[in-house]
Structure formats: C-alpha cells, structure tokens
Structure 1
Amino acid sequence: MLTTLVQRWLLIWRTLWFRVAGISVLSIVAVLAAKLLGPVLPHGLDRLVGAQSVDQLLDILSSSMLAVTTFSLSVMVSVYRAISSQWTPRAHRIQLRDNATQMVLATFVGAFVYALCSIVLRSTRFFADRDIVVLFGMTLLVIVLVVVMLLRWMIRLQTMGSLSDIAGRITDQTLRAFRRRMAAPCLGARELSAELVVPENVIDVTAPRSGYVERVFAAAIDAHARGCGGVVYVLKGVGEYVSRGEVIAQVTDAELAEAVLGNVQIGSMRDIEQDPGFGLHVLAEIGSKALSPGVNDGGTVIDMIDRITRVLESWLAPQEAPEAQPRYPGLYLPPLDPAPLVAEPFGLIARDGAAVLEVQKVLQSRLSGLEHHPDPALAEAARQTRELALRRAMEALPHEVDREALAAHVEAMGRRCWGAAVPVCDLPT
C-alpha cells in the first residue's frame, strides 16, 4: 500500500495547482514565523532595521511578482498552444509536467502571496519591533529565491517549446518508462499469458466508463487480493482502450471487484509513465506532422525515426532480462507486447512518408537493424514492418529511378551490414 500511496502522491505533486498551493502555504508560514522568532532575538537589533525599509521591499516585491507572474503565464499558454498546433496536441500534455516551469510559477505566486500577507499584517499591530527584524531577513531570503528562479526561467525560455526540447523530453520519459517495464515487465505482477488457465468460477469486472487504461496500481490490488486470499486477473493492459461495460478484469472473490475499479485508472488519454508505447506514438505523430506539405521537413522525420529506434533498442530480450520473482503474486497482468510498439509508430511514418525516398531509406536501415535484435518477437515485428513499408513505398514512389534507388539501397544495406542480401519486393510494372 505504501507503494501505491507514493505513486498517487507523485501524480498530485506533478500538477501545477498543487505546487502553487503548497508554496503559497509555505509563504504564509514564513510570515507567521517572523512573529514566532521575533521574541527570541536579543534586544537592540530592532534599531538596525527600520519598518520603512521593510515596507518598501514588500511593496516592490508584491508589484513586481504580480507582473512577472502574469507575463510568465501568458508565455506558458502561448508556448503550449504553439506545441499543440505545430507538433501534436499529445505533446502538450507532456509539456504540462515540465518541472522547471511549474516550480518557477509556483515561486512567483508564493512570493506575491508572501508580500501581500506581510503588507496586510504590517498595516495592523501584529508585528512588534523585533518581529520586523525577522520579517526583513525573511524578505531578503525571498528576494534571493526570486532572483534565482528568474535566472532559471530565463535559461528555460531559451529552448522552451522548441522541437529539440519537446522531442528530447518525450524521448527521455519514454526511455525511463521502458526501463521500468523491463525491470518489471508486468508491473511486478504475474504474467497473464495465453497459456494461463483461469478458474471457471471467476467474477467479471466491467469498465464503469469508456477510455484508456492510464495506469494500474498493482501494489494496492495485490494487497486487497492477499487480504482475502483471492486472485485478480486484469485482462486489459496499460494503454488499451476499453468501452463502458467491457470486461477489464476477473476476480476470484466478489470483494476484489471494488479494489480493481479503484486501482485501475481509466482516463481520456494515454500516459507515458506505465505506457511507453504512447511516447513512441507521440514521436511518430511529430514525424508525420513534419511530412505534411505545409511543413515538408524531412530532417525532423529522420530525427523522430532515430529517436524511436533508440528507444526500441533498449528492449531487453528474454535471455537478457534479469530473472525476478513477482512482487505481487495475487495479481496477473498482460505483458508488454513488442509487436505494436514497432508496427504502430513506424507504420504511421511509413504510410505518410511512402513517397519520400530519403525517409524510406532511413526507415529501411533502422528497421533492418531492429530486425537483428536479440528478442525474436521484436525482430519479427521489425521484419514485417520493414517489408510492409518497402512494399508501400514501391507502389507510392512516383518515379522509377526512385524505386530502383530504394531497391539498390536495401540490397546494399543487407550485404554491407549483415553479410546477406535483404529481400526486396518486386518493382511495380
């Protein structure tokens, strides 16, 4: 249960409103701390700092933070809209979790709340003379923090919203998700394989709404299963779409149905954290958008192909994956299937870029490399995707010279890299 609490806490922590609210509360605590620490100070220090100097600093801080926060919010909204329209709307959700942007905005709002509360309390008899000394020191610390965040914000704005920035973030998050799934292929649960025989007396658990399985809190489900001595079979993997009323799980005890519904999160959009395939799909969407006539940027497409290939190369074959006992024996989950991870992103680019020779050459090269991956399932998926892309390209390329060039590239690539010719489909007559 502790693992589930940590996971839920991290989900809340990554939201902007929570960080703003948290730092705002801390700023109020800092103001009240001046009242508590004031009596501890030795007598005579109140002559060093005048009330007028504190008031001036608070006035400057409150007015400047209000302007800076408003400007930062307008910049953030503009960048998010540009990302959605220029690359893909799915990238917008990933950018919303930008830690640097959230902390900067939360600090600015917190500094404004601190200054505003201090000004309000200074207009009363709340602060004594020695309390003002502590308030002056607190204000200086807040100013230093604001300056540091301003510098961090300036550095962040240099690359915020650019292709390299958003694609890099998607790639990094997808790689981290892949490594977590490789360490725990079924999120720590037992594998729900096709050979598994499910008991006949199981109870079906249906989806309360339509949407995507965003995440599964495996630790919480297993804790409930062990508590009543039952077993849970989750039939839908993370990232799959379910319709309302569709069976998403089967349980051996009726008490476990509520635990499944409370810990299998269904939402309107996929999430990278437990679903690395979504990250690959977003990268493919960026590449597909770059192939549109309005953009026509072949370099971006090649960059996305390379990023997708780099992520898929981190897939561990069964003989490479470390053997580990399932942490949650009371839960069965479908394993991560490599076939759609290869076919969906590469297939999207292969379809939209079928008539672009340069893109097809790179696509054939990268898929040929994955075709020799140690995992036979991933290698077979790469082979099928490569052959399908080649067949589509041979039909879509408008000029015979381009078709001949692609065929020659594929044959030479096989002999040069793998010591054997790569089969090439027949040229259209």
Structure 2
Amino acid sequence: MKLGFVLKNTGISATRYYFARLQEALWFRPLLSCLLSIAAALLAMLVEQIELSQSLPDISTASIEKLLTTIASSMLAIAVFAVGSMISAYASASSSATPRSFSLVVSDDVSQNALSTFIGAFIFSIVALVVLLNDFYTRAGRFVLFLLTIIVFAMVILSFVRWVDRIARLGRLGNTIDKVENATASAMTRHINNSNQGIIRPEGSMEAINANHVGYVQHIDIAKLQCLAETLKVRFTVEMLPGSLSAPNSPLVLMSGHCDLDRDDLQQKVAAAFVIGRQRTFESDPRFGLVVLSQIASRALSPAVNDEGTAIDILSTCLRLFTRYQQQTQENSQQMLYDRISIPPLNINDMFDDAFNAIARDGAYSIMVALRHQKSLHTLAMLGDAALRDAAQKHAKLALLHAKKQLKLAIEIDQVTALYHQNFGE
C-alpha cells in the first residue's frame, strides 16, 4: 500500500499555515485582546450619538470605578499566576513526554484564551478608569461602560473556571499523548483527503531543482507549485515531502519539460513554494507524529522511568491511527486538482519504522510490552491490505528478535515466539 501526499486548496494554504504558526505564539492572542479591550472602553463614548441615550439609567461614577479598580488590581496578578502555571505545564510536558510535543502544549486554546482574557480585562479596566475619571463619559456612556464591565467580569470568571480545569490536565502525560494523537490523525486525514489529486510520475529525463539551504520541509504550497508549472508549461515531481531534510545539493522537485527561465530565477520560484525550517511540524507531516509517539514510549521504557503502561498505551494509540488511516485510505476518492504535479508516495514500512522500531528495541525486556507489540501488529496485519500485512509481519519479526535477546526467562521467550508463529504462521 503506497500512501501518497498532496496539499490542496481545502488543506493548508500558505496563509493558513503561517497564521497557525502565529497562533502558537503566546503574545498573539493577548495582543488582540488588548486591542479589543481598548476599543471596547472607547466604544462607550459613541453611545452619545443615539437618540435614546438620555433615557438610559444613570449609573454613578463611583460604582463603576470600584468595579474597574477591583478588576485592575486583581487581573495582573492572575495573569502572572496563569503564565507561571502554563510554564510549569510546558516544562512537565517536555520532561515527562518529549520536547517535540512542546508546540502542541503551548498552542492549547483554553490556556491562551484565558491568558488573553486576563490581560485584556486588565487593559480594559485601566483604559476605562482613565477615561471615566477624566469625565469623558456622560450618562449614556457610563451605562454602556457599566454593561461592558459586567460582561468583562463574567468573561473573566468563566475563563478562570475553564482554565483551572484545563491547567490541571495540561502537561500531564496522558493529555500530551492525546494532543499528539489528535495532531497525527489530522495530518493523516489531510493526507487522505488529498492523496489522489496529483498525477502519476512522468516518464523520461527530468531536471533537478535543488533546495537553497539546510532544514526540514514543513509545508508545501502545491497550489503555488501548480500555478508555476502552468505558467512555465512544465511538470513537477515533488522529491521533498514535509518532514524531509533538505540541503543545497538535494532536489526539491524534478522538472520535466523545457523552461526558458533563468536557472537561479527558477530555483527561487520553486523554493518559494516550500516552507523550510529548523524543526519538523505536525500539520503536514503524519510521520512526525508517529516519531513523537515513539519517543514518548522510549522515554517511558527507560530504566529511570520504567513505565511499561505508557508504552502499551502508545501501542494502542498507533493501532488506532493506522487502523483509521487504512480505512480512510480505502474510502477516499478525490478528483484530480493538480494536473502538473506528481507527489511521491509514502511507504507504509517507513511509517511502521517511525512508530514501532524504538518500542521494539526499548520494550523488548518487558514480556507485557513484547506481547502487546505482537498483538497490535497482528491486528494491523488482519485489516486486509497486503502491504500492511507485510510491514506488520516484518516488524513483528524484528520485535521477536529483540525480545529473544533481552528477555531473561526461557518461558517468556517461548511465549512471545509462540504468539508470533500463531499470528503469522512462520
């Protein structure tokens, strides 16, 4: 089973990709919240233009001032406390799971929204107090400011309650595994939805267009590459998929057809369709999620931790991911959108290497992990796909060889060996 990879217009565009990176920054949402808070505080002055403004209730300046002072004096302290708690959660995720999971933990929506609400409420109260105490608000303005203050106060309470529930879980190993699983499943689904929209690899001689610098391919803008191919009347075969390590001597694409464009200009235009960075990312790289899950299991199986249960949970997670992936691959039937772009397939053996090799090596000393490993691979082999079965059998045999070397009791070795022969008939 060959697993092709394409990004289309319903997947991640370049704009959405960069916006997703922006949302991961801790300063982005608080900045938006500050701007909205300032706008809300000044908005109350516009109510004077409404004809019915004089019929609104007259709220005293003192009552609003006390509410705003309470918010201003507490929100900054709560925001600092929130940042400290989030940093502790991030450190916990990096130490208990793997540093590669940090980007998923730091992009937690509930925590970022709570921090934004706390900082926004602080800015709102300060701006509103300044405007209020300088008599910029009249009767209608004070009433609207009072309503806005009550709304902000309610938002703070709701955000705090949600955040307390989330921070109790954020950074915990189980929560981190769930985040990695969800990110990997999304990347796999994105791959499946786009897997049939490229063309078959063209025949004949092709010219290599190399990368400009060293780094991991994080994203490919296939729509931009298709547009360039249409303009130049050529066809491109993508050589570097997301997750691949590029270098100046490694081809990003192979070009078939004649192009009159200057070589340097062509290389620059092709490279513009590729986002290359220092680290791999989850959005367009299903294999990276499998690598991270495998690293979490390896750390759990280290002598310092010796947590066999986490490794078994990771095996179950990989089983769910591959089962869902295989089922969705069979159901997928997308029309071709890119008639000038060919995408090389991902090999199922490579994905199994990412997911299972480290667990087979580091978990071979445990009879529980060894048996669960064999059972998980047998389940995948029974899904009905020949390539999947071959990959599962290959990795089951590898796991058996590791177990024979590390298990100390002959009865345990016989148990794993018997299970392997029962599952795969060798």
Question: Which residue of structure 2 aligns with residue 275 of structure 1?
Answer: 285
Would you say 1:242 and 2:251 are equivalent positions?
no
User: For the aligned residues, what is the CA RMSD?
Assistant: 2.3
1:44-123 pair list within 5 angstroms:
44-45=54-55, 48-123=58-133
* Shift in alpha-carbon separation, 1:229–1:351, aligned structure 2, 3 A: same
Which residue of structure 2 lines up, in the alignment, with residue 292 of structure 1?
Answer: 302
Name the CA distance, whole Å, in 2 between partners of 1:9 and 1:131: 36
Q: Contact between 1:224 and 1:256, CA under 8 Å: does it hold in 2? A: no
Are positions 1:189 and 2:189 aligned together? no
Residue correspondence of structure 1 range 151-166 to structure 2 within 5 A: 151-166=161-176
Task: Give distance in 2, aligned partners of 1:47 and 1:314.
Answer: 59
What is the distance in 2 between the residues matched to 1:55 and 1:236? 60
Change (3 A) 1:52 1:222: same
Match among 19, 27, 34 for residue 37 of structure 2:
27
Indicate the residue corresponding to 2:143 in structure 1.
133
2:236–2:342 Cα contact (<8 Å) kept: yes
TM-aligned CA deviation for residue 123 of structure 1: 3.9
The equivalent residue for 1:373 is 383
Residue 363 of structure 2 corresponds to 353
Q: Which residue of 2 aligns with 1:206?
A: 210
C-alpha distance in 2 between matches for 1:332 and 1:96: 35
Cα 1:49–1:180 change in 2 (3 A) is same
The whole-number CA distance in structure 2 between the counterparts of 1:301 and 1:76 is 26
Instruction: Give the match's secondary structure for 1:266.
Output: strand
Residues 344-369 of structure 1: CA deviation (Å, up to 9, x unaligned): 22011001112211111110111122
Q: Is the 8 A contact 1:189 1:333 kept in 2?
A: yes
Distance apart, 1:199 and its partner CA: 4.2
Using the TM superposition, give the Cα deviation of residue 378 of structure 1 relative to its aligned residue in structure 2, in angstroms. Answer: 2.4
CA distance in structure 2 between the partners assigned to 1:335 and 1:63 by the alignment:
58
Is 1:398 aligned to residue 408 of structure 2? Answer: yes
Q: Of 28, 42, 54, which aligns to 1:18? A: 28
Code of the aligned partner of 1:93: S
Equivalent residue number for residue 260 of structure 1: 270
Aligned residues: 410
- Once the two structures are TM-superposed, the CA of residue 49 in structure 1 deviates from its matched residue by 0.3
Residue 354 of structure 2 corresponds to: 344
Q: Which secondary structure does the structure 2 equivalent of 1:48 belong to?
A: coil
User: How far apart are residue 79 of structure 1 and its match?
Assistant: 0.8
8 Å Cα contact 1:65/1:112 also seen in 2: yes
Q: How does 1:2-17 map to 2 (within 5 A)?
A: 3-17=13-27
Q: 1:229 to 1:9 in 2, by over 3 A?
A: farther
Q: What's the secondary structure of 1:190's corresponding residue?
A: coil
Structure 1 Cα separation of the partners of residues 134 and 73 of structure 2: 20
Q: Alignment partner of 1:329: what SS?
A: coil
Tell me the TM-score normalised to structure 2 length: 0.89
Distance 2:396 2:151 in 1: 59
The two structures have a TM-score, normalised by structure 1, of 0.89
Distance 1:41 1:106 in 2: 35
SS at match of 2:339: strand
Query: 1:152 offset after TM fit, Å?
Result: 0.8
* Residue 422 of structure 1 pairs with residue 425 of structure 2: yes
* Alignment CA distance shift 1:144-1:400 (3 Å): same
- How far apart, CA to CA, are the structure 1 residues paired with 2:185 and 2:292? 13
| 8 A Cα contact 2:224 2:273, kept in partner | yes
Does residue 222 of structure 2 align to residue 218 of structure 1?
Answer: yes
SS in 1 for 2:199: strand
Q: 1:119 to 1:401 in 2, by over 3 A?
A: same
Q: 1:2-35, CA deviations, whole angstroms, 9 ceiling, x for partnerless residues?
A: 9443444344344432222222211111112111
State the alpha-carbon separation in 2 of the partners of residues 312 and 388 from structure 1: 19
Give unmatched runs, 5+ long, in structure 2.
1-8
2:234 is equivalent to residue 230 of structure 1: yes
Are the aligned partners of 1:343 and 1:382 in contact in 2 as well (CA < 8 Å)?
A: no
Contact 2:216 2:245 in 1 (8 A): yes
- Structure 1 residues 1-10 or 98-107, which shifts more? 1-10
Q: Given the superposition, is the C-alpha separation of residues 6 and 43 from structure 1 closer, same or farther in structure 2, using an over 3 Å criterion?
A: closer
- For 1:257, give the aligned amino acid: Q
